[in-house]
Structure 1
Amino acid sequence: MKLNILFLTLLDFNNLEESNIYTDLLKEFVKNKHNISIISPSEKRKQKKSHLIRINENCEILKLRIGNITKTNFFEKGISTILLEQKFIKGINEYFGDQKFDLVIYSTPPVTFASVVKYIKKRDKCKTYLLLKDIFPQNAVDLSIIRSKGIVYNFFRSKEKNLYRVSDYIGTMSKANSLYLEKHNSFTNNQVIEVNPNSIKIESLNDTENENKKIRNQLRITDEVTLLLYGGNLGKPQGIYFLLDLILEIEKHEEFFFVIIGSGTEFSKIENFLRDNNITKTKLYSYLPKKQYEMFEKAADIGLIFLDKRFTIPNIPSRLLGYMKFKKPVLAATDGNTDLKDILDEGGFGLWSEHGDIQGIIQNVYKLTNKRYREKLGINGYNYLKEKFDVEISYSIIMKHFSRGDDNVQR
């Protein structure tokens, strides 16, 4: 069955060429001949008017001009966030007013799409599917960014509840994610809640020996040194204070080298820490183009995941998939509420310790200095990726609702 699908996101992209959990899913729908309309906003600072990009006969992207919501002050971000729904509805009417959608797909963040989804659901009598990638505002409460039961919390909690209520289907990242959602939101009884994990398109790997040598020469390390990589967001959710402790510990060991690649609110804190402590065995990079970053992923011996130990909500970082794709064992230091530890154990592709346990993570690093052990875990991870996190699986999970007679799409 061919569907007309509207995809809502805050990610800024102009095509589907780059691989991530959203573009890979969209490409899967395009491959299966569905018609895809995407709203991918462009912030005001770019000074571009709203315009439509035609990707091919089955796919188009509306670059919708919105206010600044990143890299700006709290006041401007707040106003821009409040106006998001109004701008999205206006964009839908102006550019997609003559289209009738069968399905709307959207993700968190943000939680402020409820009115947009409700509007298009009522207009087109369509189905709605939420890809739950973030549970806000509770995650902000966990990290003491906002106060529980305060004005800000109550405002966004109301938005969150409305988003769940308007969603026919909610795809979560893991079993623990689903259980948390059901426990704390009794009003979701009428929704279908199912695990629909982060997923990517899995492609064959090229020979990378020369690239690996190039990276090690760039870092001035030998083949005998165990290269650790952390790639991704560098913000409060990662609990950067523990990352700094790890940097100090690694500095004591000649056989380790640490590369950190990412951006976020804590980047300058890490940069200053490296300078002030004369760190020589950790290299920090800001944003790198996808191909450059993947060269480091290929060259690394171990991929690291961090989540602050204060989290009460189960998170599964999407960065995990890149490590698995390049057959790297995963070393995770997280809170005890995420079931990432269970996933690592089930797939046999990584080691876990609690975030904050410096001796625990160092012991695990030492275990992974064994090259044969690393290779075994890396292969396990790649096989588990193909079995559980291939984008074709996510696509099938969504589409099963439109092949069993439990939808209202015209055939």
Structure 2
Amino acid sequence: MRIAFLGLGIPNLYENSTMYTELMLEFHKDGHEVTLVGPAFEDDVKGLQTEKGVQVLRVPTLNLFQVGKFEKGISNLLLPYQYKKALKNSKIDLKFDLIFMPTPPITLFDLAVWFKKKYKSKIYLILRDIFPQNAVDLKMITQGGIIHRYFREKERKMYRLSDTIGCMSQGNIDYVRAHNPSVSKKKFHLLPNWDTPLPLSQENEIVERKNKMGLNGKFLVVFGGNIGLPQKMENIADLAKSCLEIENLLFLIVGDGYERDPFEDLVIANNLTNVKIMDYMEREEFFKLMEVADVGLISLSEDFTIPNIPSKAVIYHNAKKPILASVDTQTDLPQILEKSGSGVFARAGNTEELKSKLLYLYNNPEVRKTMGNSGYRYMYESLTVDKAYSRAQIALKNLNEKT
């Protein structure tokens, strides 16, 4: 089968990976011909390359990350046209059997539809962000406004024309079906976030690493990933402020994003000496940091009306760390944490409740160990790339049987 993946981030496959590229490499290993299409960032070689046996087409685009919402919107609207032009100029055989497309962004679906109409390609939608409702929740666009109506119609078209749709939780499936009742329920299947597990370090190596980092004796709560509106960083600042009296408690915030500067301002304004902000780390480096941590922190805005499952949970599980989650009332992450026994949660915006859950972990090392082991087991049972590949294959088999 000939497969194309249309995405937003294709790292050098010899140096790094994303969960999407890991899945595409599984297809390649199984004998499929794979082409990846993504933006060319400043350090990337532009055009067509072959990496780990797959074709990678990197396309010059406008700025897509850490820019204002207007510039980001224009950049995303232009993507399908830029990708289509680059694909045609590349001389690649464009008759693909299957197009993989994750959300975000929703705009690339126009290109996927072009493949479907011109080459009879099937479309496999990997649904992560539910847009435009997430933008409405975060007050980036107005409910019922012209922008919302435009993208809502695109969203309806996306579900209608996709041949199969992989959702990261049952809550995702239930939400999309409830708000799009005309879409056949047979299209939807579970496709939780996944990753390729990294090997655990020996205990003496972890202790030595923590000493070298000057963190010996510290109780470390680590947040890693995007620092943006969805993460509601104000809630993390409020938690840190409430914990200032705990001398050995340190919050490490690792990553970048549009809200990093405002968060840094909050830390300075409130003299949060128990917060340290660190630059984005590649996956393996961040994993080594997680191994010296005590707790992995998740934060979601209480304004969300859609269910989200942050992908950072997988690497927390991999490092055998319990999860402390500050979450909205719509996500089914709490049910997942409870069922897997891998963490605790509190309602986003309720600092007192969140602090209580943190202190529970702080005061109970055996609980932390048990939850960490449970999360590790849950990852191997449900969240590895081979499990994602198996789910995708079942979905494609069912799709072929229907056709």
- Same-fold call, TM > 0.5? yes
Unpaired stretches in structure 2, ≥5 consecutive residues: none
> If the length of structure 2 is used for normalisation, what is the TM-score?
0.94
Letter of the aligned partner of 2:188 in structure 1? I
Q: Which residue of 1 aligns with 2:393?
A: 399
Letter of the aligned partner of 1:396 in structure 2? S
Q: Which residue of 2 aligns with 1:152?
A: 147
User: Matches of 2:66 and 2:399 in 1, distance apart?
Assistant: 46
**How is 1:10-409 mapped onto 2 (pairs within 5 angstroms)?**
10-15=8-13, 17-43=15-41, 46=42, 50-57=46-53, 59-95=54-90, 97-189=92-184, 192-207=187-202, 209-222=204-217, 225-369=218-362, 370-403=364-397, 406=400
CA deviations over 1:262-306 (Å, ceiling 9, x no partner)? 111221122222223332222111212333322211100110100
Unpaired stretches in structure 1, ≥5 consecutive residues: none
Q: Confirm or deny: 8 A CA contact 2:251 2:275 kept in the other structure.
A: yes
Report the RMSD for the aligned CA atoms in angstroms. 2.1
Other structure's SS at 2:309 match: coil
Q: Which residue of 1 aligns with 2:4?
A: 6
CA deviations over 1:167-219 (Å, ceiling 9, x no partner)? 10000010010000000012322761111111111243232533443335534
User: Matches of 1:408 and 1:187 in 2, distance apart?
Assistant: 18
Distance 1:374 1:263, change over 3 A: same
Other structure's SS at 2:50 match: strand
Give me the identity figure in percent. Answer: 34
User: Matches of 1:166 and 1:148 in 2, distance apart?
Assistant: 24
Aligned residues: 402
User: Matches of 2:23 and 2:283 in 1, distance apart?
Assistant: 18
Letter of the aligned partner of 2:302 in structure 1? K
Distance 1:49 1:285, change over 3 A: closer
CA deviations over 1:287-328 (Å, ceiling 9, x no partner)? 123333222111001101000111100000000000000110
Q: Confirm or deny: 8 A CA contact 2:14 2:52 kept in the other structure.
A: no
Q: Confirm or deny: 8 A CA contact 1:113 1:163 kept in the other structure.
A: no
Distance 1:345 1:71, change over 3 A: closer
Other structure's SS at 1:187 match: coil
Other structure's SS at 1:263 match: coil
Q: Confirm or deny: 8 A CA contact 1:42 1:65 kept in the other structure.
A: yes
CA deviations over 1:20-54 (Å, ceiling 9, x no partner)? 321221221122121110001125xx397841011
Other structure's SS at 1:233 match: coil
Distance 1:272 1:217, change over 3 A: farther
User: Matches of 1:173 and 1:238 in 2, distance apart?
Assistant: 18
Letter of the aligned partner of 2:251 in structure 1? F
